[in-house]
Amino acid sequence: MKVYSYGIIRQDDSRLNIPREDILLYNSHMSETTIATNRQARFNYFISDTAEAGVVLTGNEVKSIREGNVSIKDGYVRFTNGEAFVVGMHIGPYSHSENTVPYDPTQTRKLLLHKNELLRLMGKINEKGCTCIPLSLYFKRGLVKLSIGIGKGKKLHDKRETLKKKVHDREMRQSLKNRTK
């Protein structure tokens, strides 16, 4: 692949005479790549509001995330002194690291948010029964981003209702699929 210094290249830009394959490869770093999702979050909580936050990480942690050694299942977001921190997010050690310093995979990591987003989320957290949980972790333009959401816990009957709806939707899809054959 040739290296082009045009920024984002549109496919309909015929003036550049660049092959389509090179355009797709060149723009591939601009897309969002999901690394980890918290599937239990939407099952256990009603998600009312979401926000995107950057995560402060070291180089080896980013490399480990690229390998897929991350879990946000047990994580939650805590607000202290006007700052947001994700607690319980597990990032395993990088496999090719020769670092002999002890590494805590579940250490608290700072989230980067704009002040107005931070104040909005902190205001919603103060409501009774609301919590802030990570929903997904992904790369966006080469940076690690964490999608966080304000959730209110579901009761047992709400979870049963969600399961019934999921089963009903699956049966409907199967019946439509079988009908078209």
* pLDDT the model gives residue 15: 57
Beta bridge partners of 131: 151
Helix or strand (DSSP H, E) at 135: strand 130-140
For 2-44, list the strands marked E by DSSP: 32-37
> 112 vs 12, 31, 32, 132, CA distance in Å?
36, 20, 18, 15
47 vs 18, residue with greater confidence? 47
- pLDDT: which is higher, 165 or 179: 165
Contact between 147 and 90 (Cβ < 8 Å): no
Helix (H) or strand (E) holding 109, with range, is strand 109-112
Banded pLDDT at 19 (limits 50, 70, 90):
low
Q: What is the pLDDT of residues 59-114, one digit of tens each?
A: 888 888 888 889 989 899 999 998 999 999 999 888 887 776 777 888 899 999 99
Q: Which helix (H) or strand (E) holds 162?
A: helix 156-180
* Bigger pLDDT: 3 vs 66: 66
Judged on CB neighbours under 10 Å (0-12, 13-18, 19+), 98 is exposed
Domain boundaries, the chain: 1-30, 32-155
pLDDT on residue 31: 65
pTM equals 0.70
pLDDT tens track for 109-153: 999 999 999 999 988 888 888 889 999 999 988 889 999 999 888
Strands 130-140, 143-153: parallel, antiparallel or unpaired by DSSP?
antiparallel
Q: Domain 32-155 in CATH: superfamily? A: Small protein B (2.40.280.10)
- Is 121 in contact with 9 (CB distance < 8 Å)? no
